[in-house]
Structure 1
Amino acid sequence: MMGAALEVVRPGALTTVQDRGRPGYAHLGVPRSGALDVGAHGLANRLLGNPPDAAALETTLDGVVLRALAPVTVTVTGAPCAVRVSGRAAAWGAPVRLRAGAELEVGRAESGVRSYVAVRGGFAVPPVLGSRSTDLLSGLGPGVLSAGTLLPVGPAGPDPVRGADALRVPGAPTELVLPLRLGPRADWFEPASIADLWRAEFRVSPASNRIGLRTGAGVRLTRSRGGELPSEGMVLGAVQVPPDGLPVVFLADHPVTGGYPVIGVVPPGPPLNAAAQARPGVRVRFVQG
């Protein structure tokens, strides 16, 4: 018999279950995956007293509607949005109690892209390779949510610490500034292109997704050599330059190998979290990091 659970009423454009991912399996061809905005995911769990790696929901642009099948406590962080419980306004960025039968409506993102819905106890979907994350590239983990999906809730831990940093949430970026450490294939590019990289202004492409943030406008970087590069290992934050010369920043669901040269790497941290919230058209600049 299922205990506490939430039922998906409206799944939204793309809602997935995400925790901190499944590191340590790249040698098997398995990406890390996990929440794109690690800071917002972690805050949602802190507000409820959950462990940092508890599974939450990651929505994309137009939110989600869930029905509580038993009393639960939830919170919504990430992209700011309207939150309603059975038609009544509720708090964003703070714990909200749902009675059995109540519907939680997470609205369209007012800025940014991805909101996070956590429940006290975490979503207890079956783990795969130690993680409950949905990996869109490899297909591991639970499927993308659809109407009628039942999401079991795990046992609640200790009471959360009151006064958690709910207000220390960065807003969605109007300009994305990414620190970049050159290499390992910077020598594949003309010196003028490296100089252009620090001066150029790119734009986020609508083709961006959980696999990578694509740039759709800006200076096209030119190579100093031709030929093909054998596939080699990729890491989170790797900036790969395909033949069109427009950089792609690899995000959580990135492939573990790639054949285009990597001009540099954006280290993990707040700038990569901000990349998760950058909408199409947002300016992108690279700075020496």
Structure 2
Amino acid sequence: MLTVAKLADRARRVRERTHPETITARHQKSVEDRHLVFQALNDSMASLYVTGDAEKIQAAYHRTLDTALTLQRPDEERTLTQLAADVLTDVLIGGVTPDGTGTGVAAQVNVTVPVLTLLGKSEEPGYLAGYGPIDPDTARRLAAGAPSFTRLLTHPETGVVLSMGRDTYKVPAALKKWLEVRDETCTFPGCRRSAKRSDVDHSVEWQHGGQTDAMNLAHLCPYHHSVKSCTRWTPRHLGDGRIEWTSPAGYRYIVEPSADMRPPKHPKPAPKPPAPAVDVWNLDPEPNDPEEPTPF
């Protein structure tokens, strides 16, 4: 099952694969159109829209949200959305929030870069988690050393070790990062809460024999983690990153992974066609068969 946002993300990826013009050429044209728009609204309100490089806008968004999360306290009456709006305007106007919050907060963005693109041997787009395909030049630049970005390099031929079996309950940091990129959001049907702000859950509980591996781990936000633990909603991994959820009423929903992290499957060589059958009882003699008499 795809939400509207995930469907839009899937459509963007399909568009990038089928567009006749390269993403690099299109990005070079589009970056010239970056702009800032002020729009007056009713009731003494207004909106501010910024259009620019995806990685910069997303980094600014995550920094704003992360700062807003530090302000959530038991006595705070503002919602997270209201806090984020206040943080952004305070930082733009005064540099930091009035109480100094925001100093030293840096956004972290996951960028997946195919290794052949990194080496300049391919123009395959990179993937910016939470946004979608980005042009190869931007992907290479981000992988080259931007400290606030996590570089995740993928190879078209090899996979990675993604299981700790029953050796440990704790999920290793490398596997956590891999799962964060694969899931990107809470994996409960319809939920879009960021994986960064969700729990890594054993789909089959550890105490029931569940293993610590990629095919038994998935992100769930705190609310849906409780739903899964306390109700009859049950997940089942299908082995390719997809998760099938069964509701208490018996309805089934399939949640697709945000990123395909599997090594590609190489097609098997086509079998050779069988030799044609020969009817040994009806063989025509060759024209110059020495055993046959030559007609006059």
Q: Which has the higher helix share?
A: 2
One fold, TM greater than 0.5?
A: no
Kindly indicate whether structure 1 or structure 2 has the higher relative contact order, using CA contacts under 8 Å at least 6 residues apart: 1
TM (norm. structure 1) is: 0.23
Q: Which has the higher strand share?
A: 1
Q: Report which of the two structures shows the higher radius of gyration computed on alpha carbons.
A: 2
TM (norm. structure 2) is: 0.23
